[in-house]
Amino acid sequence: MKILHTADVHIKEFEDERWLTLQKIIEVGKEQNIEILAISGDLFDKDIDAEILRPKIRDLFSNNPFKIIIIPGNHDSESYASDMYFGEDAIVLTDLYAPYESEDVVIWGMPFEPIDSERVLTKLHSLRDKLNSKKKNILLYHGELLDAFFSRKDFGDEGEEQYMPVKLSYFKDLKVDYILSGHFHSNFDIRMLENGGYFVYPGSPISITKRETGQRKVNIFKVGEPPKEYTLDTPHFEEIVIELDPFLEENPVDMIKERFDNINPTSKIILTVKGYINSEKINMGEQELHEEIKKILKGKYVEEHPEFHDIQNILEDDLFKSFKGKIERTGFIEEKKKQMINIAIKALMGAKS
């Protein structure tokens, strides 16, 4: 059996980027011949979005060659009343003790609740005698893994509150082979369980905030084998930092052009250009360089942060020339020399301002 696992799509509007990402996931599922698509919470951004989009979801979640198994997350915890219809392929797990069972696996769903880690542990251990010893047990979960260090920013815009916190040790005495989790947005992350199983965050399949950088992924695996990353061509933020060096021969415009030559077309770029230029050497000042950068970025989605400085007057300063000459003659490694020269540049910039 082959399973595609995702979470945190946070769909809000029909046919917007997030909706198209969900469509892309469905197509990937067909191409990869999966039997189950598992969505581990926060399919919808808000409960009202689920109410509005449910009629459209029915078309997307019908006539597929696989089942779509969903659990509620903290953003859509009230979206799945028992009488609501999401499509002929959709199965919503809202009761921990009412799993989906097939010939090979039993899939348990632990829907999101605002409970602390102690109550999470109690609920998990209530499954001990119910788990199937003859099949692979899979748990869909939406919450926060306490074992790993995550920044609060890794969970989207959730603030400081903890959501269904859990530890890997909670699964020590449970025959659970995979915990397919959601809530952690930033990247694909796998943790091993003591029993040989896996705890997996796929990361959001589309950048929900600017903090989810890099191409997005889902988890596709055959039951009995390790989880595997599958890279998506979906909208995502890409952070590019270019540091200019006034002592190098390379033209800053050429350097920036080169970095943009191989950018994925689905990328939304957060560009920071920092460092120093020598306007006399490159025959352009700060304003002219900024205009050249604008030409390179034309037609692309880019958030630009120009943080570079023209230090041509500092480079001609006799005190700086003397200091640089002494540094060049030392036995320091190149990185150390560069650090010391940068300190001198900043000091002279402060003195001249």
Pairing of strands 100-101, 105-110: antiparallel
| Per-domain residue ranges of the chain | 2-231, 236-352
Per-residue confidence in pLDDT tens, the chain, 353 aa: 999 999 999 999 999 999 999 999 999 999 999 999 999 999 999 999 999 999 999 999 999 999 999 999 999 999 998 889 999 999 999 999 999 999 999 999 999 999 999 999 999 999 999 999 999 999 999 999 998 765 545 555 555 678 899 999 999 989 999 999 999 999 999 999 998 999 999 999 999 999 999 999 999 999 999 999 999 999 999 999 999 999 988 899 999 999 888 888 889 999 999 999 999 999 999 999 999 999 999 888 889 999 999 999 999 999 999 999 999 999 999 999 999 999 999 999 988 77
- Looking up tokens 């581990």 gives 40
- Residue 82 structure tokens: 């028992």
Which DSSP symbol is given to 242? E
Global pTM reads: 0.89
CB atoms within 10 A of CB 305: 11
Collapsing DSSP states into helix, strand and coil, what is residue 344?
Answer: helix
The architecture CATH gives domain 2-231 = 4-Layer Sandwich (3.60)
Residues 6+ apart with CB under 8 A from 64: 26, 29, 30, 37, 89
The four Cα atoms 246, 252, 256, 257 give a dihedral, to 10 degrees, of -150
